[in-house]
Amino acid sequence: MVKGKKRNKEVEFETGLKGRSGRVVVAAILINSTIFILKIIVWIFTHSHSMFAESIHSAADTVNQIILAFGLYKSAKNPNIKHPYGYANMKYISSLISGVAIFCVGTGFSFYHGIDGLSNTDEKAKKKQSEFIWAYIVLGGSFCFESVTLMMAIISIRKSAKQANQSFISYVASGADPCVNVVLFEDSAAVAGAGVAAVCIGLTAYLKSSIPDAIGSLLVGVMLGAVAILVVYTSVPALVGRSIKLDQLDKINQELESDAMIKAIHDVKGIDMGNSMIRYKAEIDFNGRELTRKYLEEHDIRKLWEEVKGFHSIDQLNEFMLRHGEKIVDIMGDEIDRIEMNLSKKFPKVRHIDLELE
């Protein structure tokens, strides 16, 4: 089987940290790192279990979003010899790492601190009730600022979903933009977590008991565990290799089959590579008559006939066939390039086209 020439069609898309997703992640890093510092200071003074869990929550969010930023940066790198199809999957890898980190660090520490609080009465928390006002202030600020990045993530996803002609929920579930998904899930949990922590700290102050505060830590841990599951669930399919939608694949197939040079196509595959890129592969059966007709249009058939009539040996015929056979193969390569170019213009997301001759 002979493979057609492969082309990496360059189409301009917003990728990396300068793209829409990158701006959301960078904003989340700045906000979450600031909130983490404030929460950890308040925890030092109040010794609140819920505030500790929220501090770990913000720390995990910050570290994870730095990992996401690195993944976005790497995903925008150009293909090279070692990675001919580029680095688009780096953002899926970074989001998967984030999901695992959220579960291991965020959920683990929150559960540990919550269980410890239920097992041991925290006398320090009882003695610092008057200082819980700082916890409320920081949690209120956290709620407001986390809401900002949450809205940025929602707006980004809505725009992307509209471009992809999908609903908001289906776009999120598809994992097409894993980094913004992580920000969406994390900041949704952060906004909810700030509310939970405030309520539990308030109950601790009112009841003079550290038990509600410890329960708050456990609830934050549960939310972080749910976030981790969602992040992993939406990241894994893309890493495994996910086909594009059937109707989208059918449109590409129809465009290819409508070309006069193509008699039939077989073993078609369309893979979503992330970063708004599709890899399309098909085995094609060339129309020999059309290819020959194309060749003869560029050569005077009368001159060819006169040349053939002048042959006096089989060697001359052999040389004639070899020369023109090579030229026909060259035209076939040009036609494959033309077909690939037409596909990439018609479908800009198709960045890698592999056409194989049967």
Residue bearing the bigger pLDDT, 48 or 337? 337
Residue 2 has pLDDT above 60, yes or no: no
Residue range 246-357, CATH number: 3.30.70.1350
Per-residue confidence at 61, pLDDT binned at 50, 70, 90?
confident
Distance CA 260, CA 265 (A): 12
Tell me, what's the pLDDT at 4? 43
Greatest mean pLDDT among 56-65, 101-110, 281-290 lies in: 281-290
Note the pLDDT tens digit of each residue in 106-157: 788 788 878 887 887 655 445 455 567 877 888 888 888 888 888 988 998 8
Residue 34 has pLDDT above 80, yes or no: yes
Per-residue confidence at 16, pLDDT binned at 50, 70, 90?
low
Note the pLDDT tens digit of each residue in 237-277: 777 777 888 888 899 999 898 888 898 898 898 888 766 67
Residue from 186, 217, 245, 234 nearest 108 by CA? 217
Residue from 188, 184, 189 nearest 171 by CA? 184
Note the pLDDT tens digit of each residue in 178-228: 778 888 888 888 888 888 888 888 888 778 777 888 888 899 889 888 888
Tell me, what's the pLDDT at 131? 60
Greatest mean pLDDT among 58-72, 75-89, 233-247 lies in: 58-72
Distance CA 32, CA 176 (A): 24
Length of the chain measured in residues: 358
Distance CA 299, CA 292 (A): 11
Tell me, what's the pLDDT at 127? 46
Note the pLDDT tens digit of each residue in 282-329: 998 888 888 888 888 888 888 888 888 888 889 888 888 888 888 888
Per-residue confidence at 14, pLDDT binned at 50, 70, 90?
low
Burial of 74 (0-12, 13-18, 19+ CB in 10 A): middle
First to last CA, the chain: 6
Domain segments of the chain: what residues? 2-240, 246-357
Residue 46 has pLDDT above 80, yes or no: no
Average pLDDT of every residue of the chain:
81
This prediction's pTM: 0.67
What stretches of the chain adopt beta strand conformation (E)? 2-3, 7-8, 242-243, 262-274, 277-286, 350-357
Per-residue confidence at 3, pLDDT binned at 50, 70, 90?
very low
Residue from 37, 218, 242 nearest 142 by CA? 37
Q: Which CATH class is domain 2-240?
A: mainly alpha
Cα 111 to Cα 75, 97, 103, 201, 328: the distances in Å are 34, 20, 11, 17, 71
The pair of structure tokens assigned to 38 is 């404030």
Per-residue confidence at 11, pLDDT binned at 50, 70, 90?
very low
